[in-house]
Structure 1
Amino acid sequence: MKQHHYMFDYLDDLQHACADLEEMGIEHRNLHVAHNSQLSLDKRHLNGMGYFHDNDMVHSALRGFLFGILVAACTAFLLSTWLGHLEVGFIVTGFVTLIMLGFSTWVGGLIGASHDNWRLAPYHDQLSAGKSVLIVDVDSEQEQMVTRMMSAMHREASHTGESPTGESPFEGGWHLREKEIKQVA
């Protein structure tokens, strides 16, 4: 599966596009909308991004896990060199490397929880200005049909990019964009 990203200026236009996509056979759960007001999305019965798609926690935890593998391998090598002659050396080495692996994954997840998802980071300024991003999950059979329909029927939407559906620690840039904390007046 692949994700296609479309930028909309107005939620009414986005809502009509979602209705047309659902009529075409795209399931409601495959339409994700990023907007600065979750309440506006709920009133229109549009799928928001959800907590795990709105921030970069999963993506960053995977990166932390990969970093943890390197740190755990170095730690295991050093500890086995220092403690290899002891009977409990193997147990201590295994325990410490598991702790290092878990800690780096946890830290990666914490870092990602306070940052925008790597898919949404390029649209940060537009989302802050009130625009919306529609992310459509499509199969390879539906891809051409969706792009043709969106370009023909919804010219107000601009196709802003594509991304893979799954999380990969190698996708996205290394510079994370910190989430803005919204103040309630």
Structure 2
Amino acid sequence: MKRLYYLTSNIDSADLISADLHKEGVSDWRFHIMTKDEAGLYHHHLHGATPFHRYDIIHRGEQGALLGITAGLIANLVLLLTGMVDSLGLFTMLLLTTVFAMFGAWVGGLVGLAHDNYKIERFKPELAKGKYLVMVDVKKAEEEKVRVAMKRYHPEATLLAADSPFSNPFVNRITAKASN
């Protein structure tokens, strides 16, 4: 699966892209449009970006879970080495690590609400100008078909990037900026 990022300058173009993507078999669940004109998307019945697209909830949640797992394992080790607990059962150790991981994911997700999605951050200057970012998730087999259709029917839409739709918890914001 790949996410294609197209940029267009007006709502009418985004509306036509939506119609053409439907003709190509791309469902509403696989493409989203991000813009500062949310009312325009609503009035044109276009599928806008979700909070998971806009904010770094998933990415930071994954990082928080990894930190929580690490903290849980360290807590288990400390409890075992200090003799505070003679022998923790495997279930107790797993439970403690799971609680730490869940707490880390929750805190990470809350932190992510305060930050823009690290994959979208590079497009912020264009979005601030009022442009429309069309994100299309395509399967490997249909990627070329979508690219050809977009090039043929929508030369006004610029392909800015192709990336994975999945978050990588090992990528930090500085690394993501440097790779652009």
Q: TM-score range by the shorter chain?
A: 0.7 to 0.9
What residue in structure 1 maps to residue 7 of structure 2? 7
Equivalent positions of 1:5-154 (< 5 A) are 5-83=5-83, 86=86, 96-154=96-154
The sequence identity of aligned pairs, in percent, is 27
Distance 1:113 1:11, change over 3 A: same
**1:67-106 deviation digits (Å, cap 9, x = unpaired):** 212222222111211135546x658866654443233222
In structure 1, how many angstroms separate the alpha carbons of the residues matched to 2:151 and 2:10? 17
Are the equivalent residues in 1 in contact too, given 2:57–2:112 (CA < 8 A)?
A: yes
3-state secondary structure, aligned to 1:114: coil
The DSSP-based 3-state class of the residue aligned with 1:116 is coil
The corresponding residue for 1:162 is: 162
SS of the equivalent of 1:77 reads: helix
Q: Structure 2: how far apart are the matches of 1:93 and 1:153?
A: 58
What is the TM-score when the length of structure 2 is the normalising length? 0.85
Cα distance in 1 for residues equivalent to 2:83 and 2:23: 65
**Distance verdict in 2 for CA 1:40–1:176, change over 3 Å:** farther
Counterpart contact for 2:65–2:102, Cα < 8 Å: yes
The code of the aligned residue for 1:77 comes to L
How many residues align structurally? 176
- Matched residue of 1:119: which SS? coil
Which deviates more, 54-63 or 97-106? 97-106
Q: Alignment RMSD, CA only?
A: 2.5
Given that 2:119 and 2:176 are in contact with CA atoms closer than 8 Å, whether structure 1 keeps it comes out as: no
Q: In structure 1, list runs of 5 or more residues that go unmatched.
A: 178-185
Output the TM-score relative to the length of structure 1. 0.83
Q: Note the alpha carbon deviations across 1:14-39, whole angstroms, 9 max, x for none.
A: 11111111112212221200011221
In the alignment, structure 2 segments of 5+ residues that lack a partner are none
Assess, with a 3 A threshold, how the Cα gap between structure 1 residues 29 and 73 changes in structure 2: closer, same or farther: same
SS in 1 for 2:173: coil
SS of match in other structure, 1:66: helix
Quick check: 1:115–1:176 contact (8 Å CA) kept in 2? no
